[in-house]
Structure 1
Amino acid sequence: MDITDTLPATVDVEAQLDQIAARYQAAGGVGIHVLNLIGGSADGLLDRLPAPVRRNLEGATTKALEQAMKAAHTSRTYVPDQKDWLNQAVSAAMGAAGGAGGLPTALAELPVTTTLLLRVIQGVAVEHGFDPASESVQFDCVQVFAAAGPLSDDDGVDLGFLSARLALTGKAMQAVIARVAPQLAVVLGQKLAAQAVPVLGAVAGAATNYAFTSYYQDMAHVHFAMRKLAIDGDVPHDQLVARLALKMGRVPVREV
Structure 2
Amino acid sequence: MDKYLPTSPDLPAQVADLARRYKRANGPVMRLVNRLGGSLENQLSALPGGVRGQIERLTAQALETSYGLAARAPDLGQRTPMVAAMAAGAAGGAGGLATSLAELPMTVTLFLNTIRSVAREAGLDPDEDWVRAECLQVFAAGSPLAQDDGVNTSFLGSRLAMSGSAVQSLITSIAPKLAAVLGQKLAAQAVPILGAVSGAALNAAFLSYYREVARVRFELVKLGQVHGADAVEAEFRLATTPPKVIRA
**Quick one: which of 191, 203, 208 aligns to 2:202?**
208
The offset of 1:15, in angstroms, is 3.2
Matching of residues 95-244 of structure 1 within 5 Å: 95-152=89-146, 155-159=147-151, 161-164=152-155, 167-170=160-163, 171-197=165-191, 203-231=197-225, 234-244=226-236
Structure 2 equivalent of residue 75 of structure 1:
73
The offset of 1:198, in angstroms, is 6.4
CA offsets per residue over residues 209-228 of structure 1, 9 Å max, x none?
A: 11210110111011100001
- The two structures have a TM-score, normalised by structure 1, of 0.81
Q: How far apart, CA to CA, are the structure 2 residues paired with 1:86 and 1:16?
A: 31
Letter in 2 for 1:32: R
Tell whether 2:49 aligns with 1:55.
Answer: no
Change (3 A) 1:210 1:34: farther
Change (3 A) 1:11 1:143: same
Q: How far apart, CA to CA, are the structure 2 residues paired with 1:74 and 1:158?
A: 31
Q: How far apart, CA to CA, are the structure 2 residues paired with 1:120 and 1:169?
A: 21
- Structure 1: runs of 5+ lacking an equivalent: 1-8, 252-256
Q: How far apart, CA to CA, are the structure 2 residues paired with 1:75 and 1:201?
A: 35
The question of whether the paired residues in 2 share the 8 Å contact of 1:46 and 1:189 is answered with yes
Q: How far apart, CA to CA, are the structure 2 residues paired with 1:189 and 1:10?
A: 40
Structure 2 equivalent of residue 247 of structure 1:
239
The offset of 1:206, in angstroms, is 1.5
Secondary structure at the residue paired with 1:131? coil
Q: How far apart, CA to CA, are the structure 1 residues paired with 2:193 and 2:26?
A: 25
Q: How far apart, CA to CA, are the structure 2 residues paired with 1:244 and 1:102?
A: 40
The offset of 1:189, in angstroms, is 0.7
The offset of 1:203, in angstroms, is 3.8
- Structure 2: runs of 5+ lacking an equivalent: 1-6, 244-248
Point out the more displaced range, 22-31 or 11-20.
Answer: 11-20
Q: How far apart, CA to CA, are the structure 1 residues paired with 2:106 and 2:115?
A: 14
**Quick one: which of 83, 86, 89 aligns to 1:92?**
86
Stretches of 4+ aligned residues off by more than 6 angstroms: 198-202
The offset of 1:250, in angstroms, is 4.9
CA offsets per residue over residues 49-80 of structure 1, 9 Å max, x none?
A: 2331013322221111111112333222xxx3
Q: How many residues matched? A: 233
Secondary structure at the residue paired with 2:227? coil
CA offsets per residue over residues 1-40 of structure 1, 9 Å max, x none?
A: xxxxxxxx8634233212211111112244122355x784
Secondary structure at the residue paired with 2:161? coil
The offset of 1:244, in angstroms, is 1.4
The question of whether the paired residues in 1 share the 8 Å contact of 2:111 and 2:210 is answered with yes
Q: How far apart, CA to CA, are the structure 2 residues paired with 1:136 and 1:147?
A: 16
Q: How far apart, CA to CA, are the structure 1 residues paired with 2:189 and 2:49?
A: 16
Q: How far apart, CA to CA, are the structure 1 residues paired with 2:100 and 2:126?
A: 28
- The two structures have a TM-score, normalised by structure 2, of 0.83
Secondary structure at the residue paired with 1:74? coil
Structure 1 equivalent of residue 3 of structure 2:
none
Secondary structure at the residue paired with 1:27? coil
Structure 2 equivalent of residue 32 of structure 1:
31
Change (3 A) 1:201 1:138: farther
Point out the more displaced range, 25-34 or 215-224.
Answer: 25-34
